[in-house]
Amino acid sequence: ERDGAVLRLALTAAPHTVQLLPSVKTEFWSYNGSTPGPLIEAMEGDTLEIRFRNDLPQATTVHWHGLPVPADQDGGPHHPVAPGEERLYRLELPKGSAGTYWYHPHPHGDTPEQVFRGLAGALIVRTADDPLAALPEQHLFISDLRLAADGSIPFNNVDDWMDGREGQFVLVNGQLQPQLTVNGAQRWRIWNACSARYLRLKLAGAQWQLVGTDGGLLEQARPLGELVLAPAERIEVVVSGSGAVRLLALPYDRQKMGDAPPERERVLARATFSAGPRVQLPARLRSIADPGLARATKRVVFSETMSMENGQHSMAFLINGKAYDMNRADWHSKAGEVELWEVINDSHMDHPFHLHGTQFMVVERKRGGKVVREPFKAWRDTVNLRPNERLLLKLRFPHPGMYMAHCHIIEHEAQGMMAQVQVS
Ligand code: C2O
Ligand code: CU
Ligand code: CU
């Protein structure tokens, strides 16, 4: 066994002005002056010590989305960093945590603005016995950006607060339609770091196989056609082929309110593939043990309510009939105990469910009265629910503390579709 190293790095959140056109300046908020922020990479067993500095005009936090870290290191809304202040995040990466993560702000209230101004970055945890380590890797961190005519990043409008904000530009690694080069087979990690945009992804002109989700590799590679990547979800795929290839986002109807026309098909990236020597993926990528018999159950119900205020419709986004309250524990759990979480979408719109502090396994889905057992095992921290869908998740919290559960359409989360579990 490898002795973990301590990796130290410095991360600063600050305004960052970019000259997009000769006459157009855009103020982003960035980590270390880059959008997306710097890629953070470590091995299982390592400890990341991140010296964070907040040079934004608002309080912020850095949330390590998906990592099984103690609540006081998780960057949730209970641990703000005031403007001009610093703090140290200490992240111990346990065995079994290899996977594809990301980091973004999570303060109480201002998360939508901090994310739509550009604060987000990728984090990868690797393992020494990675069966795909020989494959070259490419990262596609997908975000979207809205620019006003004068080049500024406008604030949310009324529709954004209902449906979640979608920008008119969809960027891959901060670039519009980048040109990629793929020689032979490659492993791609793909992040949906958009505030609310769903990505129905298709690789036109090449083959891909699904090999991993948020929390690392599947047991076996699975042939893939198209796939809906909800906000905050990540996947790993192995791609191969030859010739001109396009990564597309196809229209996806997530049942938004009002009558916004469906999105057109978009090209996210273009690639030139050249066929290399045939690669045979191992028949077994890893084994995923079932967490075992559940000792406790939890119930999560997403709902929306509409009311009229001064002739204006206004929406509330709720969990178990309540809006988020920092001073209320919505559930109580015991560290180390296996639990079954029933998550229900009692609304007419898709919502991606996300839980902090651990990864979960989807064991069952129910839609339109039909119960379907999940066909394969995977570790996730984010999963989409279609209207009237119900999921059963199995999980275990490794650490005590207060952890968030919420919809990852960031505008919904900020308006109350968040709750918290007190783990003792
Ligand atoms: Cu990615 Cu609570 O968030
Ligand atoms: Cu998270
Ligand atoms: Cu939502």
Residue 132 lies inside a defined structural domain of this protein: no
**How many domains does the chain fold into?**
3
Asked if residue 287 is part of any domain, the answer here is no
Task: Tell the residue nearest (CA) to atom 1 of ligand 1.
Answer: 65
Cis peptide before 36 (omega within 30 of 0): yes
Relative to the CA of 418, which ligand 1 atom is closest? 2
Considering the domain architecture, whether residues 413 and 302 belong to the same structural domain is answered as: yes
Q: Are residues 256 and 153 in the same domain?
A: yes
Please give the distance, rounded to the nearest whole angstrom, from the Cα atom of residue 273 to the centre of ligand 2.
34
3-state class (DSSP) for residue 114: helix
Residues 316, 205 share a domain: no
For residue 65, the ligand 1 atom closest to its alpha carbon is 1
Please tell me the predicted confidence (pLDDT) of residue 90.
98
Residue 388: C-alpha distances to residues 112, 162, 302, 314, 371 (Å): 26, 18, 10, 22, 13
Name the residue with tokens 């979207």.
Answer: 144
Determine, yes or no, domain membership for 82: yes
Q: Are residues 172 and 79 in the same domain?
A: no
Give distance in angstroms: CA of 198 to centre of ligand 1.
16
Measured on CA atoms in the order 242, 175, 138, 221, is the torsion positive or negative? negative
Ligand 1 atom closest to residue 66's alpha carbon, by position in its atom list? 1
- Pocket-forming residues, ligand 1, beta carbon under 6 Å: 63, 65, 104, 106, 232, 354, 356, 404, 406, 408
Same domain, 62 and 143: no
Q: Do residues 59 and 143 share a domain? A: no
Which amino acid residue places its CA nearest to atom 3 of ligand 1?
Answer: 65
For residue 311, the model assigns a pLDDT of 76
Structural domain includes residue 290: no
Whether 145 is in a domain gets the answer yes
- Domain assignment present for 263: yes
Rounded distance from Cα 298 to ligand 3 centre (Å): 19
C-alpha distances out from residue 406 to 56, 135, 355, 384, 421, Å: 25, 35, 7, 12, 11
Q: Is residue 145 domain-shared with residue 120, that is, in the same domain?
A: no
Ligand 1 nearest atom to the CA of residue 104, by list position: 1
| CA–centroid distance, residue 80 to ligand 1 (Å) | 15
- Complex ipTM tops 0.85: yes
The pLDDT value recorded for residue 312 is 75
Atom of ligand 1 nearest to the CA of 356: 2
Q: What is the pLDDT along the chain (424 residues), one digit of tens a residue?
A: 456 899 999 999 999 999 877 888 999 999 999 999 999 999 999 999 999 999 999 999 999 999 999 999 999 999 999 999 999 999 999 999 999 999 999 999 999 999 999 999 999 999 999 999 999 999 999 999 999 999 999 999 999 999 999 999 999 999 999 999 999 999 999 999 999 999 999 999 999 999 999 999 999 999 999 999 999 999 999 999 999 999 999 999 999 987 777 789 999 999 999 988 888 899 999 999 999 999 999 999 999 998 777 777 778 999 999 999 999 999 999 999 999 999 999 999 999 999 999 999 999 999 888 999 999 999 999 999 999 999 999 999 999 999 999 999 999 999 999 999 999 9
Q: Are residues 268 and 368 in the same domain?
A: no
Name, in order, each residue with C-beta under 8 angstroms of 35's C-beta and a sequence gap of 6 or more.
16, 18, 28, 118, 174
Ligand number nearest to the C-alpha of 345: 3
Residue 4, token pair as written in the block: 């973990």
* Residue 265 and residue 141 share a domain: yes
Q: Which atom of ligand 1 is nearest to the CA of 76?
A: 2
Q: Which ligand is nearest to the CA of 120?
A: 1
Looking at 104, 126, 148, the residue that finishes a domain is 126
Ligand 3 centroid distance, CA of 344 (Å):
12
Residue 331 to residue 248: CA distance in whole angstroms: 40
Contact present, 116 and 195 (Cβ < 8 Å): yes
Centre of ligand 3 to C-alpha 351, Å, is 4
Give me ligand 2 centre to Cα 66, in Å: 5
What pLDDT, on a 0 to 100 scale, did the predictor assign at position 3? 67
Minimum-distance ligand 1 atom for the alpha carbon of 404: 2
Alpha helices in 208-272 (DSSP H): none
Q: Domain with 150 in it: what CATH number?
A: 2.60.40.420
**386 alpha carbon to ligand 2 midpoint, in Å?**
20
Residue 1 pLDDT:
44
Which of 106, 126, 146 is the last residue before a domain boundary? 126
Residue 70 Cα, ligand 1 centroid: separation in angstroms? 15
| 275-334 residue pLDDT tens | 888 888 999 999 999 999 999 999 999 999 987 777 777 789 999 999 999 999 999 999
**Ligand located closest to 347 CA:** 3
101: containing domain: 6-126
Q: Which residue, 126, 148, 166, sits at the end of a domain?
A: 126
- Return the pLDDT at 35: 95
- Residue 282 inside a domain? The answer is no
